[in-house]
A and B are shown apart, each in its own frame.
Chain A
Amino acid sequence: MRDEQVNSDSDTLESLAAFLWPDDESVEATAELLKASGVDVDGTVSAVKRQVAAMVEHNRLATLRAARDEIAAAKAKLQPIPKKSRQEMLGELKKQGRMVARKMNLTLDDLSDEQVISAYEDLKQAEQLDDQ
């Protein structure tokens, strides 16, 4: 007898809750019902969206950090680039078809020694990174 009473009251509260805040109404209607009960719907939606934005930003930064670490680790494994003469370096750059000087409106032969060394080291590092 006591159990029947307990279950009956329990069911009544369930039914009341289901009637007051139903799950089959539109979002707009549900939001209005919640607001009428004193629930801060707009504040909660804003807070949740801020949480999600923070998660997205956190993940974006984590991805960038991981990529940066990966590049740093790969660079740490690079072998020293052997010294060569300007002609040898230009020869290899030409062989690789690298148009290093194009954006400066120069031909490879017009590059300074420093520019040739830099372009050559870039080429060799890129080859090593590709191999890794």
Chain B
Amino acid sequence: MTQTSKALAEADWDFITVKLLAYAKRKVFRLSWSNAGAVSTKAEDLVYEAINRVLSGERVWAQEKHPDLLIFLYGVVKSIVSHDVKSSHNLRTEKLPDTLERQNSIPKVGPEGQDYIDRLLSSVCGDDDLEELVLHIASGYTKASDLAEQMKMPIQEVYRLRERLQRKIEKIKTGSKKEATL
């Protein structure tokens, strides 16, 4: 067994899988609302695919260069997502001439993303705490401890708000899927 195989066999896969799922979820969330609209893949599938590529040797983990396996796997997930987005974007623009838009294939948030943010703001409208939370997040605060300080409330309350916000987002997502199938 090579040193890399041994390190892979002995890695803490509970830790790595959960952290990688969170990373993939952030990527999917961000990109599923971008103008590309290309990422329909689930975080679970992305993680499974990324780990499979490393275990099978399709993506070679050079330990000397990337000692942290998790960080290396972040890169693999990122490259899978980028490839999917570019493929989808190229499919949609293949009949277009080489415009600046085609060259800039990394998606930015377009109308769908703006619509999503608008819908999110509408959904929290009237709920003072959630509204304030979203505004602070939009200002760049992402850590629960910072938000607790900003909102002058115990961190446990921020955790509760996070659960409520997640439920709102799930509702928006479900609503979007229903609209898409109509």
Do the two chains belong together in a single complex? yes
Interface positions, chain A 23-75, Cβ under 8 Å from B, are 23-24, 27, 30-31, 33-34, 36-41, 43-45, 47-49, 51-52, 55-56, 59-60, 63
Give the segment of B60-68, B79-87, B94-102, B159-167 that binds chain A.
B159-167
Given contacts A12-B138, A21-B26, A34-B22, contact A7 B108 (CB under 8 A): yes
B154-175 CB contacts (< 8 Å) to partner A: 162-163, 165-166, 169-170
From B13, B44, B143, contact of A40 by CB (8 A): B44
Question: Which residues of B lie under 8 Å from residue A23 when comparing CB positions?
Answer: 19, 22-23
Q: How many A-B residue pairs have CB under 8 A?
A: 148
**Contact call A18/B26, Cβ cutoff below 8 A:** yes
Find the B residue at minimum CB distance from A8.
Answer: B138
Q: How far is A30 from B24 in the complex, measured between Cα atoms in Å?
A: 13
What does the 1/0 interface line of A85-98 toward B look like (CB < 8 Å)?
00000000000000
Asked if residues A37 and B109 are in contact (CB atoms below 8 Å), the reply is no
Closest to B113 in A: A9
Partner of A31, one of B13, B18, B120: B18
- Residue numbers in B under 8 Å from A7 (CB-CB): 108
Q: Say what secondary structure dominates the interface of chain B.
A: helix
Is A24 a contact of B143 with CB atoms below 8 Å?
yes
**Pair A44/B17 contact, Cβ less than 8 Å:** yes
B76 within 8 A of A: no
Are A39 and B21 also in contact (CB < 8 A) when A9-B114, A27-B14, A51-B52 are?
Answer: yes
| B-to-A contact residues, CB < 8 Å | 1-2, 5, 8-9, 11, 13-19, 21-23, 25-27, 29-30, 33-34, 42-44, 47-48, 51-52, 55-56, 108-110, 113-114, 116-117, 120, 134, 137-138, 140-144, 147, 162-163, 165-166, 169-170
